[in-house]
A and B are shown apart, each in its own frame.
Chain A
């Protein structure tokens, strides 16, 4: 099974701070996506990277940014944190587009 590891699992930040969330996979993949899941809601698409290039973005402001590295790990960066950024952030990888995504367990971010 393709494992997806996200770190950290939990994080508490203060409003206005910056945060970096990480995602890695045990196997190679060419597509990584990030999602935000607020309490009681379905995941919302933030952006997607394909071969280290952003190739899709949801309705999130520019203070949400990301990277995909040659070793297929990925980062989600959020600047100027707001209270509404408190959510579960999910990383998902796909080996074949539209085959389905494999999700990590997520990082629970709390902004106070």
Chain B
């Protein structure tokens, strides 16, 4: 069965500091990995997908199949990055449903 683990419930960093959100997964096959973000009083929205290998709002994430990880990183955190972040996976073996981690709350202090 597929599983997504986000070990940190809360990450508190100062503005301008690097931030890394950890995500580990278990899945049989080739997963599709995503990061979703939920800002205060807004809907859950897609931040980035591993297959597009893109950088969104300064965030990047690299899929490491050996370590089964998909950590999200940003070199210089901004106050507007304060939000709830969810790692999620999908794939054919999972019926293309999204399996989410428990989420990490990021608080960027001025």
Contact = CB atoms under 8 A, between A and B. Distances in A.
* Bound together: yes
Contacts of B99: 45
A43 B100 contact: yes
Interface string B85-108: 010101100011111111100000
Contacts of B86: 42-43
A90 B45 CA distance: 12
A105 B43 contact: yes
A41 B97 CA distance: 17
Contacts of A8: none
A4 B44 CA distance: 11
A104 to B, nearest CB: 6
A105 B44 CA distance: 7
Interface string B33-59: 010100000011110010100000000
A105 B40 CA distance: 12
Contacts of A101: 46, 98
Given A43-B86, A98-B91, A58 B46 contact: no
Contacts of B6: 42
B31 to A, nearest CB: 10
Contact of A45 (B49, B97, B101): B97
Given A43-B98, A100-B49, A103-B44, 11 more contacts: A42-B6, A42-B88, A42-B103, A43-B86, A45-B97, A48-B95, A58-B97, A97-B96, A102-B46, A103-B45, A106-B43
Interface of B: 4, 6, 32, 34, 36, 43-46, 49, 51, 86, 88, 90-91, 95-103
